[in-house]
Amino acid sequence: MLRIENLHANAGDEPILRGVNLVVRPGEVHALMGPNGSGKSTLANVIAGRPGYEVTAGSVSLDGVDLLALPPEERAQQGVFMAFQYPIEIPGVSNMEFLKAALDSRNAAQGRPELSALQFLKLARAAAERLGLGPEFGKRGVNEGFSGGEKKRNEILQMLLLEPRLALLDETDSGLDIDSLGTVAAGVNAFAGEDNAIVLVTHYARLLEHIVPDHVHVLVAGRIARSGDKSFALEIEAKGYGWLTAPA
Amino acid sequence: MSGPNAAVGERLAQDYAAGFVTDIESETLPPGLNEATVRFISGKKNEPAWLLAWRLQALARWRKMTPPQWAHVTFPPIDFDAISYYSAPKQGPKSLDEVDPELLRTYEKLGIPLHERAALAGVETPQVAVDAVFDSVSVATTFKEKLREAGVIFCPIAEAVRECPELVQKYLGSVVPQSDNFYAALNSATFSDGSFVYVPKHTRCPMELSTYFRINAANTGQFERTLIIADEGSYVSYLEGCTAPMRDENQLHAAVVELVALNDAEIKYSTVQNWYPGDEQGRGGIYNFVTKRGACLGARSKISWTQVETGSAITWKYPSVVLRGDGSVGEFHSVALTNNRQQADTGTKMLHIGRDTKSTIVSKGISAGRSQNAYRGRVLMNPGASGARNYTQCDSLLIGDECGAHTFPHIESRTPEAIVEHEASTSKVSDEHLFLCAQRGIDAEKAVSMIVNGFCKEVFRELPMEFAVEAGKLLEVSLEGAVG
């Protein structure tokens, strides 16, 4: 489904990714770990198409579609979703308005019929409730005055509604208290299915107790230094990253 | 340009749909301003002696005045002798049926119906009476008869001078005195046409009234004068719209609008201003130097200004309310959008004189491109204004990083028994916002329009329904290409 081959990318002028290879199949959950500056978030951003990154070599495809050739909104319409590490506010635009616009764009791009306002509200309210976002949530501006935990839950809400093919969760666990972590993890687990895949970018194995990965990769200096199963995450938790070095 | 907001600032092209010129035979006064000019204009309109004298007095005052320098705008000095002060289509209409078809087509293209037929046939569209001012003269006023049945007078001001001189003489210059400011004095001397409205006691005007201003001729200034009087217990909602052709030189629009509300009367005045803003490099465009002021003379009267300003190279206007009557209410709701090289210095004055007077100011400034957008406001609580209250909210939205937003609030309270509140905020549409939207499948144009509309929501709510839709579309067009 997601195929990354020999991906090299710069952030500004600085080379960050130096040859990433990764294959993600439907139904899989991958965890991407690694020390600060190893390129975890850069990889997620490059896949999503954030401006400011330049791909210098390699390819990224989703279901055979060359993602790197598409502007970010079309990647999203193809089913790429990124939960932001630092979700920003859009004052004045209500959450419901924003969610509806996002859903409408996806439906239009995929040739699906547009939801009526009523259908949409039902869907959005149910999802918000599941994530513990109160009834006044819909009227508030996007992330406006949200606590850190609410912002992260809002990201997961958007994921649940947009039903992406590939969800990139960039440090979704950072800044969450233990209750919020549970709520967020439950949301992610409810989303995970046979038709989609999840890539978790995280510093800590803590998250992986709640969302169990099929594969764990450690990125060092812009390359995947080593991969393993969920037990590998525990090994890292115990030993740190120091013993892992980038492959030659 | 470059930098983190390159994507936001690119492609500042804008599509000005009203930029065409109407090819029509006009009688245009040669450029220049002196006593003869004033006498010519007055003579054209068969004005009574008092009005000519009034104009000449204004001219004399104007000559002693200098243009205001305090606004946050820059432009080369205007040569007032290079402007023509009068231009009118040669074929003056007598009735709606006699309006030059070329003019009718012009207004049709602009979406302004100058016929009553369609409106009569249409059940869904609410009726709007229109006074159309083309360069210096009113070319048509619709629904006059129907309005007259209700006792409402809605006509070109030149006609009002003939038909109801006592009202005009009583109130003309009563709210905006001749010597109020440089441009008001200029207008008092040279005003050509504009609308006059009188709503009699305890009458609710049966339809929206609107005036549509169009500058067509080159090198011509438009100096219209509007006077609206709402007698005791009456209500009127009035709208104005404005456009001009795309021309390389700057053109001056120096209007004066005076509103008078007597006891328990209410005037709602809405403006959708879309004068030609000039091109991307800042060539051409209208200088919109306008004095608008309402007087709440009566107790419990109310005047509310709502403006959506998207056009003009330079906007200099401060629709204000003098709250004289006890318990009177003043409101100002404004959206001012500037793009490319546009400059706007706009805001309001709320002068609280009576007791228990209330005013609300909501100002939304949107700056894109290399434009400069300033809010300037004055709230004055006079010693007698016990129980008076003002609330001001002043928000700026920046699109890109080469534009400027400025706020100049002046608050002066001379009584301890008044309450003044002021809130201000500045936010920015950044590449991060656009990426967040893009990541959710929403393209940049849609994202900006969503953000801008969200930002303006409070003000659009104040506009009559059909104009709220128009205003939303206008913002979209004005911002077209403001993001890459």
Q: Quick one: fold of A2-239? A: Rossmann fold (3.40.50)
From the CA of B335, how many Å to the nearest CA of chain A?
14
Rounded CA-CA distance A42/A155 in Å is 19
**Per-residue pLDDT at B427:** 86
Q: Are A29 and A198 in contact (CB under 8 A)?
A: yes
**Per-residue pLDDT at B458:** 83
Rounded CA-CA distance B211/B155 in Å is 10
Question: For A55, how many CA atoms within 13 A lie in the half-sphere containing its CB?
Answer: 22
**Per-residue pLDDT at B354:** 97
User: Which chain B residues are Cβ-neighbours of A158 within 8 angstroms?
Assistant: 440
CB contact under 8 A, A81 and B439: yes
Question: What is the pLDDT confidence band of residue B128, given thresholds at 50, 70 and 90?
Answer: low
Q: Choose from B19-33, B351-365, B389-403 the range with maximum mean pLDDT.
A: B351-365
Average pLDDT over all residues of chain B: 83
**Per-residue pLDDT at B106:** 66
Q: Which of B245, B311, B221, B329 is nearest to B274 (CA)?
A: B311
Interface residues of B toward A, Cβ cutoff 8 Å, are 4, 7, 427, 431-433, 435-444, 446, 450-451, 454-455, 457
DSSP B204: B
| Nearest-by-Cβ selection for A72 from B433, B435, B457 | B435
Reported as a single tens digit per residue, the pLDDT across B100-119 is 666 666 666 666 665 554 44
Q: Is B286 exposed, middle or buried (0-12, 13-18, 19+ CB in 10 A)?
A: buried
User: Which chain B residues are Cβ-neighbours of A81 within 8 angstroms?
Assistant: 439
Question: What is the pLDDT confidence band of residue B6, given thresholds at 50, 70 and 90?
Answer: very low
From the CA of A53, how many Å to the nearest CA of chain B?
12
The stretch B93-98 carries a mean pLDDT of 57
User: Which chain B residues are Cβ-neighbours of A72 within 8 angstroms?
Assistant: 435, 438-439
**3-state secondary structure (DSSP) of residue B406:** strand
Closest Cα in chain B to A44: B439
**Per-residue pLDDT at B412:** 95
Provide the 10 A C-beta neighbour count for residue B124.
4
User: Which chain B residues are Cβ-neighbours of A71 within 8 angstroms?
Assistant: 438, 443
Q: Is A98 on the interface with B (CB under 8 A)?
A: yes
Q: Are A16 and A42 in contact (CB under 8 A)?
A: yes
From the CA of A20, how many Å to the nearest CA of chain B?
22
CB contact under 8 A, B436 and A88: yes
Q: Is A10 on the interface with B (CB under 8 A)?
A: no
CB contact under 8 A, A105 and B446: yes
Question: What is the pLDDT confidence band of residue B350, given thresholds at 50, 70 and 90?
Answer: very high
Reported as a single tens digit per residue, the pLDDT across B329-340 is 999 999 888 888
Rounded CA-CA distance B307/B459 in Å is 8
Q: Is A90 on the interface with B (CB under 8 A)?
A: yes
| Mutate: best of A70, A93, A110, A156, partner B, most B CBs <10 A | A93
From the CA of A203, how many Å to the nearest CA of chain B?
23
| Nearest-by-Cβ selection for A93 from B432, B435, B450 | B450
Residue B321 has pLDDT above 80, yes or no: yes
Reported as a single tens digit per residue, the pLDDT across B211-241 is 877 766 666 777 889 999 999 999 999 988 7
Of residues B359 and B34, more confidence is placed in B359
Q: Is A92 on the interface with B (CB under 8 A)?
A: yes
| Nearest-by-Cβ selection for A97 from B431, B436, B450 | B450
State what percent of residues in chain B have pLDDT above 70.
80
Closest Cα in chain A to B364: A92
| Mutate: best of B362, B396, B439, partner A, most A CBs <10 A | B439
Closest Cα in chain B to A71: B438
Per-domain boundaries in chain A: 2-239
DSSP B216: -
From the CA of A205, how many Å to the nearest CA of chain B?
27
Q: Is A163 on the interface with B (CB under 8 A)?
A: no
Per-domain boundaries in chain B: 6-364+428-478
Q: Are A201 and A86 in contact (CB under 8 A)?
A: no
CB contact under 8 A, B454 and A141: yes
Closest Cα in chain B to A110: B441
Strand order across the beta sheet in which A29-33 lies: A80-83, A166-170, A197-201, A29-33, A215-220, A223-228
User: Which chain A residues are Cβ-neighbours of B444 within 8 angstroms?
Assistant: 73
Rounded CA-CA distance B408/A236 in Å is 58
Angle at which helices B431-439 and B444-460 cross, to 10°: 110
CB contact under 8 A, B431 and A51: yes
User: Which chain A residues are Cβ-neighbours of B435 within 8 angstroms?
Assistant: 50-51, 72
Q: Is A97 on the interface with B (CB under 8 A)?
A: yes
> Which ranges of chain A have pLDDT less than 70?
246-248
From the CA of B451, how many Å to the nearest CA of chain A?
6
Q: Is A70 on the interface with B (CB under 8 A)?
A: no
Rounded CA-CA distance A181/A204 in Å is 12
| Nearest-by-Cβ selection for A88 from B432, B442, B455 | B432
Residue B7 has pLDDT above 50, yes or no: no
Q: Is A157 on the interface with B (CB under 8 A)?
A: no
Which residues make Cβ contacts (< 8 Å) with residue B243, sequence separation at least 6? B18, B110, B213, B214, B215, B274, B275, B276, B311
**Per-residue pLDDT at B380:** 96
| Chains A–B, number of C-beta pairs less than 8 Å apart | 74
- Paired with B266 in beta bridges are B235, B302
Model confidence, pTM = 0.81
Q: Choose from A161-170, B21-30, B335-344, B397-406 the range with maximum mean pLDDT.
A: A161-170
**Per-residue pLDDT at B313:** 84
Angle at which helices A148-162 and A178-191 cross, to 10°: 10
CB contact under 8 A, A97 and B454: yes
DSSP A37: T
Rounded CA-CA distance B225/B211 in Å is 11
**Per-residue pLDDT at B260:** 98
The stretch B2-27 carries a mean pLDDT of 52
From the CA of B150, how many Å to the nearest CA of chain A?
42
The stretch B334-355 carries a mean pLDDT of 91
CB contact under 8 A, A90 and B432: no
| Mutate: best of A73, A74, A98, A169, partner B, most B CBs <10 A | A73
From the CA of A77, how many Å to the nearest CA of chain B?
5
